[in-house]
Amino acid sequence: MLEILYQDEHLVAVNKPAGWLVHRSWLDRHESVFVMQTVRDQIGQHVFTVHRLDRPTSGVLLMALSSEVAHLLSQQFEQHQVQKTYHAVVRGFVNDAATLDYPLTQERDKIADKFFRCG
């Protein structure tokens, strides 16, 4: 069972645990637990992805309860009308609070990246 953070007639937001796939994927054909199916079974209603979080990432995952709402929200994400904020928990300490506004170093995925060429 996943923690539902928010739900209304159009949306549901859940707390996605690290290690869970959002939906079935060729990245792991043997996986049997997915956020979409778990939420669907939990609320008794089909859900539609609006965005995703990588498997190792935990956080708030927003899903639509209709394809129309999913389409509208996906457009807002694509057009950067929605602001996402990521918080990282790291080992170590800093002397002062800081905002880091640059991409993290890219780390290649040993499964997915063998299907894509960098160039």
CATH of residue 55: 3.30.2350.10
Name the domain count of the chain: 1
Residue 84 within a domain: no
Q: Name 52's Cβ contacts closer than 8 Å, sequence gap at least 6.
A: 22, 23, 61
Residues annotated catalytic, as ranges:
54
Count of CB atoms within 10 A of residue 24's CB?
A: 13
Residue 97 within a domain: no
> Could you list the residue range(s) of the whole structural domain that residue 41 is in?
4-79
Residue 107 within a domain: no
Query: What percent of the chain has pLDDT above 70?
Result: 79
Residue 88 within a domain: no
Residue 53 within a domain: yes
The pLDDT of residue 114 is above 70: no
The pLDDT of residue 119 is above 60: no
In 3D space, the residue among 59, 53, 52 whose CA is nearest the CA of residue 74 turns out to be 52
Residue 43 within a domain: yes
- Confidence label for 117 from pLDDT (cuts 50, 70 and 90): very low
Q: What is the mean pLDDT of the chain?
A: 83
Residue 85 within a domain: no
